Amino acid sequence: MTKDSNPEFKRRISLLESHVGFKLETILKHALKARDSYTLEHSERVVFLAEQIGHQMGLNEHQMDILSLAAGFHDIGKIGIADQILLKPGKLSGDEYNNIKQHPIIGANMLRSLGNPVLEEVALCVLHHHEQWDGKGYPDGLQGEEIPTISRIIAVVDAYDAMTTTRSYRSEIEIQQALEIIRQESGKQFCPEAVQAILELRSKSHLNSQTCS
């Protein structure tokens, strides 16, 4: 199924339009496609699973809207990262890693530039999607509940998808192994509530290789 015919993608675009009040579809779709196919496909998978976790955690309707949009555009700031860094097959140097760490800031600034209050909320969640529960993340080193709930959900799903999806520099590992790593990082890298939610989805068999392929 192409993104153009994906009903979930269309639903989120219309959701965005209803909040923003003018048509952004062309800009945002082309912006994501302009990066690399992995980023677009990864973002689609993150939305799918993040929404399940949001429901599992009992988010209200407005929070679910923000979650859906933030998950879809969490990595849009990668547009501002050079190809030789973003697509580098080997280990990143310190400077390269520092450069790629700018993508949440770039993405948040892009979303804020539209001057829309809903996108302002989305931007805040995008800005903090690489924060860690123990304060060791970036860009601001926020800790625990200082980090927006939606950002904490995206962080778990982002890691899960990265560990269970083959890309140029990473081989696929078993879902169970990925979930075990996430479980071990509960209260360290990840929010315990979000970890519990993804493990509960697994126990209900709502999380399998089909959901994230």
Q: Total residues at the site for Fe ion (CB under 5 A)?
A: 1
Which class for 23: exposed (0-12), middle (13-18), buried (19 or more C-beta within 10 A)? Answer: exposed
Q: What does residue 75 show for φ and ψ, rounded to 5 degrees?
A: -105, 20
Q: Which is nearer to Fe ion, 33 or 62 (CB)?
A: 33
Site for Fe ion in 75-114 (CB under 5 A): 75
Q: Which is nearer to Fe ion, 75 or 131 (CB)?
A: 75
Site for Fe ion in 62-81 (CB under 5 A): 75
Quote the least distance from Cβ 56 to Fe ion, whole Å. Answer: 22
Quote the least distance from Cβ 137 to Fe ion, whole Å. Answer: 11
Is 161 a residue that touches Fe ion (CB under 5 A)? no
Helix (H) or strand (E) holding 38: helix 37-56
Angle, helix 175-184 to helix 192-203, in steps of 10 degrees: 150
Q: Which is nearer to Fe ion, 92 or 206 (CB)?
A: 92
Nearby residues of 131 by Cβ (< 8 Å), 6 or more positions away: 137, 138, 139, 140, 141, 142, 146, 147, 151, 152, 155
Name the residue number minimizing CB distance to Fe ion.
75
Q: Which is nearer to Fe ion, 88 or 206 (CB)?
A: 88
For residue 56, what are its two tokens? 């599992």
| Dist. CA 79–CA 164, nearest whole Å | 23
Quote the least distance from Cβ 130 to Fe ion, whole Å. Answer: 6
Q: Which is nearer to Fe ion, 52 or 151 (CB)?
A: 151
Residues in contact with Fe ion by CB under 5 A are 75
